Amino acid sequence: MKDFFGDGVLLSSSAAEELYASVKDLPIIDYHCHLNEKEIRDRHRFADIGELWLSGDHYKWRAMRLCGVDEKYITGDASYYEKFKKYAEIFPKLCGGPLYYFSQLELKLLFGIEKPLSADTADEIWERANAVLSRIDSNDILKQFRVEYVATTDDPASPLDAHGKYGDTSVCPTFRPDRMLPPDDAALAELEAAAGMKIESLADLKAALKSRLDFFVSKGCRMADHGMDLPPVRDCGTPRAEGLFANRSSLDAAEKRTLFSHLLYYLCSLYAERGMVMQLHFATFRCVNSAALPITGRDSGFDIMRGSVNPDELVVFFDTLNSRGHLPKTVLYSLDPSVMPAVATMSGAFPNVRIGAAWWFNDTLLGIRRQLEVIAEYAALGTNLGMLTDSRSFASYARFDFFRRILADFVGGYVERGEYDMSAARELMYGVCYGNVKEFIKI
């Protein structure tokens, strides 16, 4: 029996151990996250592990709800100590789930704590972790995890006044115009103020988005990101889109999707002109618990996988963009893992289209392995861009260690069975864990 979360955790062979050792200390490029860049600029200090872990991590909130914890101890007014104690109480129930691995690796790598978290150990771990946090700030955490590059997620109206170089970490914005496609009145007012212009027509909206995109690029932005429930539909053309924009307050869901798609086609042309990378996140079903939404707000753990999504619609989207010469470098993420084989084959049909990391509900032990299997079988594993955090928590950089261990075990299995060369495996590990994304984004 192996030691609890010892050096060999998740590594089932000597080849896996050797491959993991070759990449475990590589720098981290986090090409999609939701960190607050102001907390980096201001060298934020966390009062305790409760704040670090539970102030905004909907993964943990969802797990606590699954185990029957009252909302008072999740998003309610209980103290962080009380919330941490509740999380510790339910933690042993999470066997095999990603949070069990994430949390124990965070304790090990950030705090040097190798004890299993439980109700019995909660107070000791609280004291030991808080003693470490009293000596470090957000930038120290980034340094400890060797974070080289952070891409935050930013609304077009953001002033981008907190991005820059902090120690060894470059913090750069990502253009995320979801609220503007199409905009509601509040989003439109914010965009007008940021762009310094009135927006009274579709052409005005496009001009404002272009102006803000160029501002983002001037601040070091290399990527755009779009989240959507369903893939875009065919481009309806400018005349139809102008009419939809004029009536935007009364559009039904299908009409909103049509206008969104037209605007996305337009933005893709701008991304391609500027040599940017576009990320597409799809197959979400947002805020399904309507009673909880007014209590907890968005992004609180009430989003789920969409039951069905049609990847064929992406084919039309990419083919149209490619025919127009407007297809930017693209990274695809689906919350529905069942469509990934089709999406992976699609990446071989169009230039510079890649499969992203196993996303959200899929960044589990088996979810990551399945994603690696799909990429290996239907695309090219050696071109994969590796891991990201997609997180609001500074402690989440332990997820890179989780991924590197799984990847080492996956590739090491081929080596152990005599199906793959060790020298090629080392090179592949370096590329997937660091080199590929650095080259793809042109860092």
State whether 95 and 221 are in the same domain.
no
Backbone dihedral angles phi then psi of residue 183, each to the nearest 5 degrees? -85, 145
Residue 307 has pLDDT above 90, yes or no: no
Q: What pLDDT does 333 receive?
A: 98
Boundary (domain end) residue, out of 89, 115, 135: 135
Percent of the chain with pLDDT over 90: 95
Instruction: Please give the mean pLDDT across all residues of the chain.
Output: 97
Task: Please report whether residue 246 resides in a domain.
Answer: yes
Task: Please report whether residue 2 resides in a domain.
Answer: no
State whether 114 and 176 are in the same domain.
no
Boundary (domain end) residue, out of 135, 160, 189: 135
Q: What pLDDT does 363 receive?
A: 96
Residue 308 has pLDDT above 90, yes or no: no
Task: Please report whether residue 168 resides in a domain.
Answer: yes
Per-residue pLDDT tens over the stretch 408-434: 999 999 999 999 999 999 999 999 999
Q: How many domains does the chain have?
A: 2
Boundary (domain end) residue, out of 135, 164, 185: 135
State whether 292 and 373 are in the same domain.
yes
End-to-end alpha-carbon separation of the chain, Å? 43
The CATH code of the domain that includes 61 is: 1.10.2020.10
State whether 162 and 189 are in the same domain.
yes
246, with CB counted inside 10 A (0-12, 13-18, 19+), is: exposed
Q: Which domain holds residue 130?
A: 46-135
The 8-class DSSP code of residue 67 comes to T
Residue 186 has pLDDT above 90, yes or no: yes
Residue 272 has pLDDT above 90, yes or no: yes
Average pLDDT over residues 206-210: 98
Task: Please report whether residue 7 resides in a domain.
Answer: no
State whether 248 and 304 are in the same domain.
yes
Per-residue pLDDT tens over the stretch 381-404: 999 999 999 999 999 999 999 999
State whether 152 and 118 are in the same domain.
no
Task: Report the distance separating Cα 429 and Cα 108, nearest Å.
Answer: 23
Q: Which long-range contacts (CB under 8 A, 24 or more apart) does 373-380 make?
A: 373/410, 374/340, 374/341, 374/344, 375/344, 377/341, 377/344, 378/341, 378/344, 378/345, 378/348, 379/344, 379/345, 379/347, 379/348, 379/355
Task: Report the distance separating Cα 224 and Cα 221, nearest Å.
Answer: 8
State whether 34 and 107 are in the same domain.
no
Q: What pLDDT does 384 receive?
A: 98
State whether 320 and 406 are in the same domain.
yes
Task: Report the distance separating Cα 302 and Cα 297, nearest Å.
Answer: 9
The CATH code of the domain that includes 333 is: 3.20.20.140
State whether 74 and 207 are in the same domain.
no
Task: Please report whether residue 356 resides in a domain.
Answer: yes
pLDDT class of 1 with cuts at 50, 70, 90: confident
Task: Report the distance separating Cα 289 and Cα 118, nearest Å.
Answer: 30
Per-residue pLDDT tens over the stretch 321-354: 999 999 999 999 999 999 999 999 999 999 999 9
State whether 93 and 217 are in the same domain.
no
State whether 98 and 165 are in the same domain.
no
Task: Please report whether residue 3 resides in a domain.
Answer: no
Task: Please report whether residue 89 resides in a domain.
Answer: yes
pLDDT class of 293 with cuts at 50, 70, 90: confident
Per-residue pLDDT tens over the stretch 62-111: 999 999 999 999 999 999 999 999 999 999 999 999 999 999 999 999 99
Task: Please report whether residue 6 resides in a domain.
Answer: no
State whether 109 and 157 are in the same domain.
no
The 8-class DSSP code of residue 75 comes to T
pLDDT class of 301 with cuts at 50, 70, 90: confident
User: Which of 201-215, 244-258, 280-294, 337-351 shows the lowest mean pLDDT across its residues?
Assistant: 280-294
